[in-house]
Structure 1
Amino acid sequence: MKIGFIGLGVMGAPMAGHLADAGHEIVTVLNRSPLPMDLKASAVASPAEVARLSEIVITMLPDTPDVERVLIGRNGVLEGISAGKLVIDMSSISPIATAEFAAKFREAGAGCLDAPVSGGEVGAKAASLTIMVGGPAAEFERALPILEKLGKNITLIGENNGAGQTCKIANQIIVALNIEAVAEALVFASKAGCDPAKVRTALMGGFASSRVLEVHGERMIARTFAPGFRIRLHQKDLNLALESARALGVSLPSTAIAQQLMNACSARADGADADHSSLVRALEVLSDHELSKKKE
């Protein structure tokens, strides 16, 4: 089928590539960046034109304002959508805004799912993403063959639009607090005179073992902060968590601390686009100790 795919960034490009490899015809939007060399796709002038030409439209964009502009802005997807088509937003954005966008598409007779993902660039390239979906079960079943080309763990969280985004926020809370915990532990052990690499190896064999300790603990020690997932994007997700928590009357004290540490990292000249494992830098400043430095 013809699939519109808007948002060919670090994750979107390989995701669209998997759909093209599966035999689907990909339609996207012309922008300032050229199409990836290895992506078989045709480009048109606007999101509205993408919607006119496609049976299903997928968006993979950075933040709520980007999705709003592409979906319901001038020359947006809504202007080109027609009854019977399906919109799948795989961005990580506000659950409240998601429900509002979906209502507009339903008024036009189109289906709408929110399907944010976890797994980062590695998962996008390997088609092993975890996909958290919100929306009617019938629309989920229709989308499932497409989603199965992009991920392995695909779950319908709830039949209300916004359920997928709520689950993604929960995911980002857990990941952020795990990163903070690993960073605190390694800075503590290092300043006490232990080799953080050996501490990490020992902890990987016990109950403290985690994927974050394995991957991001190694990044912290090796100082390899080239982005897999940019800290500014995780910072955005924690902002969404705290905004939603205020609306729900939920207390998220540790999430607020993690967000402030990310704010401190983002204030650095090279901070906002570094990997989210670079949260350790804020703790190093507070402790006056860098992991790479041995205790005198």
Structure 2
Amino acid sequence: MSSIAFIGLGIMGSPMACHLARAGHTVYGYNRSPQRCAALVEAGGVAAESIAEAVKGADVVAVMVPDSPDVHDVLASDGGVFAHAQPETLVIDFSSIRPDVTKELAEEARRRGLRMIDAPVSGGEAGAKNASLSIMVGATERDFAAATPILQAVGKTIVHVGPTGAGQTVKAANQLIVAGNIELLAEAITFLRAYAVDLDAAVKVLGGGLAGSAVLDQKAPKMLARNFDPGFRIELHHKDMGIVTSAAREADVVIPLGAVVAQLMASALANGDGALDHSGLLLGVERLSGRGES
């Protein structure tokens, strides 16, 4: 069992840290909002008052925060992980950030005698709660092997996809596919509703054919119930679409459908939907169609 510092106890980080504590690891959690530590303490973990306190003596430091600047601040600021972790500590970044930022931070970690891997996850809040996340890992073979017992406590599909930064690149592709699927599902549901089709029956039969997907299974019920409580917020998916469109441009790759979905995600954010689940793209389709709730 390892001593683990877990930084970032939000919608995703809290259940992940709790799984690690229940698996027998010693978990010290830190979050800028201290009340977010309550679930971890109940699961057997310890609340730390600072990053320095959390990482002191830790074998592993796990990070799950929203964006590239947040990861940079947690790791590289004066009070951050790099300044306080002991040599050979393994840093696992579960966040979804820019691949170039990951590479820069991993290089800085190496200069300080630390080891860092990128391990962004897919599966949303449900996957975090059920320990069924899909984890795409950028790492050396040695560091991937060292991280595997930790990853197995929070995920189900764990794949080493290449060197440092590769995990973030695969996650960007994942977010491109998910956003496109959610937008098309929203358009299909709005289309079906316009023709007064039995939506539950339609979704059932669509799910049994080639149109079936994890997105349809998880997001269609939310759209039909108009339940947009966040499992993964639009504002975060907007950030991810910025990552993939920027990275595609740098690689001279054309993603025309992805670019349109990125604009629709930006529109949702501009219309005040940023805190909603990304299934809330349905509201944007309804706005464009001149249709509200029916």
Match for residue 164 of structure 2 among 158, 161, 166: 161
Note if contact 1:231-1:276 (Cα within 8 Å) is conserved in structure 2.
yes
What is the alpha-carbon distance in structure 1 between the residues aligned to residue 175 and residue 51 of structure 2?
29
Report the CA distance between 1:30 and its aligned residue.
5.8
What is the alpha-carbon distance in structure 2 between the residues aligned to residue 44 and residue 128 of structure 1?
27
Q: Which residue of 1 aligns with 2:48?
A: 44
Structure 1: gaps (5+ residues) = none
Report the CA distance between 1:258 and its aligned residue.
1.0
Q: Which residue of 2 aligns with 1:218?
A: 221
Note if contact 1:227-1:274 (Cα within 8 Å) is conserved in structure 2.
yes
Note if contact 2:7-2:30 (Cα within 8 Å) is conserved in structure 1.
yes
Report the CA distance between 1:28 and its aligned residue.
2.5
Q: Which amino acid aligns with 2:91?
A: V
Note if contact 1:81-1:108 (Cα within 8 Å) is conserved in structure 2.
no
Report the CA distance between 1:150 and its aligned residue.
0.8
Q: Which amino acid aligns with 2:151?
A: L
Q: Which residue of 1 aligns with 2:285?
A: 283
What is the alpha-carbon distance in structure 1 between the residues aligned to residue 20 and residue 258 of structure 2?
36
Note if contact 1:5-1:59 (Cα within 8 Å) is conserved in structure 2.
yes
Larger mean CA deviation between 69-78 and 195-204 belongs to: 195-204
Q: Which residue of 1 aligns with 2:134?
A: 130
Larger mean CA deviation between 280-289 and 133-142 belongs to: 280-289
CA offsets 1:44-82 (integer angstroms, 9 cap, x no match): 343234333211100011111110000001211010123
Matched, 1:8 2:12: no
Q: Which residue of 1 aligns with 2:241?
A: 238
Q: Which residue of 1 aligns with 2:185?
A: 182
Superposition misfits of 4+ residues, deviation over 6 angstroms: none
Q: Which residue of 2 aligns with 1:87?
A: 91
Residues 233 and 39 from structure 1, CA distance in 2 versus in 1: closer, same or farther, beyond 3 angstroms? same
Matched, 1:102 2:116: no
What is the alpha-carbon distance in structure 2 between the residues aligned to residue 198 and residue 17 of structure 1?
38
Note if contact 1:177-1:258 (Cα within 8 Å) is conserved in structure 2.
yes
The alignment's TM-score, normalised by the length of structure 1, stands at 0.93
Note if contact 2:187-2:285 (Cα within 8 Å) is conserved in structure 1.
yes
What is the alpha-carbon distance in structure 2 between the residues aligned to residue 215 and residue 119 of structure 1?
10
Report the CA distance between 1:252 and its aligned residue.
1.2
Q: Which residue of 2 aligns with 1:118?
A: 122
Note if contact 2:57-2:85 (Cα within 8 Å) is conserved in structure 1.
no
Aligned-residue RMSD, C-alpha? 1.5
What is the alpha-carbon distance in structure 1 between the residues aligned to residue 207 and residue 144 of structure 2?
38
What is the alpha-carbon distance in structure 2 between the residues aligned to residue 192 and residue 96 of structure 1?
47
CA offsets 1:96-145 (integer angstroms, 9 cap, x no match): 00000000000111111000001111111111111110010101001101
What is the alpha-carbon distance in structure 1 between the residues aligned to residue 43 and residue 269 of structure 2?
32
What is the alpha-carbon distance in structure 2 between the residues aligned to residue 204 and residue 74 of structure 1?
51
Note if contact 2:7-2:31 (Cα within 8 Å) is conserved in structure 1.
no
Note if contact 1:48-1:78 (Cα within 8 Å) is conserved in structure 2.
no
Structure 2: gaps (5+ residues) = none
SS in structure 1 opposite 2:38? coil
Alignment of 1:263-282 (within 5 A): 263-269=266-272, 271-282=273-284
Residues 204 and 30 from structure 1, CA distance in 2 versus in 1: closer, same or farther, beyond 3 angstroms? closer
What is the alpha-carbon distance in structure 1 between the residues aligned to residue 101 and residue 69 of structure 2?
9
Q: Which residue of 2 aligns with 1:191?
A: 194
What is the alpha-carbon distance in structure 2 between the residues aligned to residue 140 and residue 223 of structure 1?
40
CA offsets 1:239-284 (integer angstroms, 9 cap, x no match): 1101111211111111111111112221233x11111001011111
Match for residue 60 of structure 2 among 56, 59, 79: 56
Q: Which amino acid aligns with 1:50?
A: A
Residues 272 and 30 from structure 1, CA distance in 2 versus in 1: closer, same or farther, beyond 3 angstroms? closer
Residues 30 and 63 from structure 1, CA distance in 2 versus in 1: closer, same or farther, beyond 3 angstroms? closer
